[in-house]
Amino acid sequence: MEQFYKLLKEYNKNFAAKVNDVPEWFLQYTEEEPPLYWKTVYEILKNEDRNQSIVEIGAGFGDVTALLYFMGFKNVISFEREESLIQYINDKVKSIFNKSANTINSSYPQELSFSPDIIIQVNCSYFNQSNNKEEYIEQVKSTYRKNGIPRMFVFETIDDSYQEVNANFPYFMRLNKIDIAKEFPKCQLEAFVTYKFPQNKVSKTIYKICK
């Protein structure tokens, strides 16, 4: 994986030099070490069957997308609601792997013709139209169950240990392991801390939720 990340990093450095308005979080992928959440996704999925279907939510600039193609997953659909990012994702996958990415310019959940085996939602925390914790939890569960219950849900959330005022991440969308266990009572859970305030701007945790 180290060699692949070097290739991805150089691609992103060249891309950032050409595009002046890349967001700050994207620059993580131009640093010597990749973001911890990216490495965590790799560790969670490294022993999984590559024939499983994956839905990725919030593909951004396609760096987790690229990781999935590098790992050899054969059935990946990446959702990204920002239309301006779709071509960047497609270009990245085409340039690095000479493959056509399966990207959909839409938010998720959307009705699919199949039930995905794995859903991945990392570095993509939005409360959308939710106004309180109950509504936000229902938003998360709708994502989880829309197309049938996946075998695995890889979900990164803002951790409730983060207590700073932040309009992008209101208190009601900050969750802990007890919250996750309550909403997924029959699932096996593993938690992986990916960001910790104040070393990072917020605190985040990835949950591996398996039915």
* d(C-alpha 33, C-alpha 158), whole Å: 22
Per-residue confidence in pLDDT tens, the chain, 211 aa: 999 999 999 999 999 999 878 998 999 999 999 999 999 999 999 999 999 999 999 999 999 999 999 999 999 999 999 999 999 999 999 999 999 999 999 999 999 999 999 999 999 999 999 999 999 999 999 999 999 999 999 999 999 999 999 999 999 999 999 999 999 999 999 999 999 999 999 999 999 999 9
Q: For residue 19, what pLDDT is reported?
A: 87
What percent helix, strand, coil does the chain show, rounded to 5?
40, 20, 40
Q: For residue 146, what pLDDT is reported?
A: 97
Q: For residue 64, what pLDDT is reported?
A: 98
* d(C-alpha 131, C-alpha 135), whole Å: 6
- Are 28 and 22 spatial neighbours (Cβ–Cβ below 8 Å)? no
100 contact partners, CB below 8 Å, separation of at least 6: 90, 93, 94
* d(C-alpha 185, C-alpha 4), whole Å: 37
- Are 22 and 16 spatial neighbours (Cβ–Cβ below 8 Å)? yes
Q: Domain limits of the chain?
A: 2-210
Q: What is the pTM of this model?
A: 0.96
| Residue with token string 């990446």 | 78
CATH hierarchy code of domain 2-210: 3.40.50.150
Angle at 132 between CA 126 and CA 134, to 5 degrees: 100
